[in-house]
Amino acid sequence: MYAVIETGGKQYIVRENDVVNVEKLGVEPNEEVAFDAVLMISDENGEVKIGTPTLEGAKVLGEALGETKGKKVLIGKIKRRKNYRRKIGHRQTFSSVKIRSIEA
């Protein structure tokens, strides 16, 4: 059984007991997280339910494990012949969520 959820402007395929890194949710570790924007659910029999755009009454429950940071992305700015160079780094913050159950 798996589901496609939407959070933080991105879509994720999740199964039970998966650990997913999603955009920062701002929740404490060991706190319950519910994703209500479920776009699709596939059960054990292979039956697929697709929402328009989301499924009514479906939700995915998970537990927040904590926050992590992604890889550093370097941004460079250069203006030629002007002696202007800037190098800036950014590390995106993610929330780790362990998926507990998928409820259709």
Interval 19-41: pLDDT, tens: 999 999 999 999 999 999 999 99
Report yes or no: 35 and 51 within 8 Å, Cβ to Cβ: no
- Looking at the predicted structure, is the pLDDT value of residue 101 above 90? yes
At residue 44, the pLDDT reads 87
The pLDDT-based confidence of 46 (bands split at 50, 70, 90) is confident
Q: How many CA atoms lie within 13 A of 60 on its CB side?
A: 30
Task: State how far Cα 44 lies from the chain centre.
Answer: 23
- Looking at the predicted structure, is the pLDDT value of residue 102 above 90? yes
The whole-model pTM stands at 0.83
The pLDDT-based confidence of 104 (bands split at 50, 70, 90) is confident
- 3-state class of 104 per DSSP? coil
Between 62 and 43, the more confident residue is: 62
Percent of the chain having pLDDT more than 70? 100
Q: Are strands 59-69 and 19-23 parallel, antiparallel or unpaired?
A: unpaired
If residue 50 lies in a helix (H) or strand (E), which one and from where to where? strand 48-50
Q: What is the 3-state secondary structure (H, E, C) of 59-93?
A: EEEEEEEEEEECCCEEEEEEECCCCEEEEEEECCE
